[in-house]
Homo-oligomer: A and B are copies of this chain.
Amino acid sequence: MVQKLLRAHASVRKYKDYILSKEEISELVETAQHAASSHFVQAYSVIWITEELKKEELGKLSGNPKQFETAGAALLLCADFHRLQVAGELQNTIIDIDTTENVLVGTVDVALFAQNLVIAAESKGYGICFIGGVRNEPATISQLFNLPEGVFPLFAITLGVPDQQNEVKPRLPVAAILHENTYDDSDYEKLLKEYDQTMADYYVSRGANQKVATWTKQMADFLEKPRRPHMADFLSSKGFHLK
């Protein structure tokens, strides 16, 4: 049952002592590549990190040292227009990567690819965690892995044999996500208050890491200040000027 697998997803942040082989990683990447890609640009690259020192460094830079320590594999997922520039050169054509549109295309391409990879991994019993924290230090991380112009790190994924099993968190009610024919926010206040209660009940009763919290409070605290205001300048330094 595929839907059962998809609904069972929860982040795994601690792994048993098992290192994935090159064959396993290649198989996961090849499966992931079958995701759709905008105009078939296939604008993604994966850095598989096997050197202990680099793995440790990426763990520190992205604020998740422990996860990287026990992971059976650590992957850095990048949007990649450099390979497309090489394709252009083979055709004596200078391609234009320098638009906001290409940042969106690369980001969507990476994410569709990554979700396929994650589902393939979870179907084999592995656990995974996305790590957006690589965007805390994108310039330093780019240097660490020699990312050229046209390539930017979007997130990392750790994966491995789960040494913990987190519970599945309740999601927003479908009624707050799904609109028919027109965007309609007239029930948001009611739905979000109900969801706050659902999440509060979940947080106090779950097996581990119990706390007193609601979703709207978490979101308000998290988004009160601008998030990663360096990203525009960083993307510009990689050739994407967001014009």
CA–CA, A40 and B130, complex, Å: 12
Which of A13-21, A60-68, A204-212, A220-228 is the interface stretch?
Answer: A220-228
Interface string of A166-178 (1 = CB under 8 A from B): 0011011010111
Shortest A101–chain B CB gap in Å is 4
- The answer on a CB contact under 8 Å between B171 and A33 is yes
- The answer on a CB contact under 8 Å between B48 and A220 is no
CB-CB contacts below 8 Å: A57-86 with B: 78, 82-84, 86
- The answer on a CB contact under 8 Å between B46 and A179 is yes
Chain A interface, number of residues (Cβ within 8 angstroms): 117
**Given contacts A29-B174, A112-B111, are A220 and B91 in contact (CB under 8 A)?**
yes
Chain A interface (Cβ within 8 Å of chain B)? 2-3, 5-9, 11, 25-27, 29-36, 38-42, 44-51, 54, 78, 82-84, 86-88, 90-91, 93-105, 107-108, 110-112, 114-116, 118-120, 123, 130, 132, 135, 145-148, 151, 154-155, 168-169, 171-172, 174, 176-185, 188-189, 192-193, 196, 215-229, 231-232, 235, 242-243
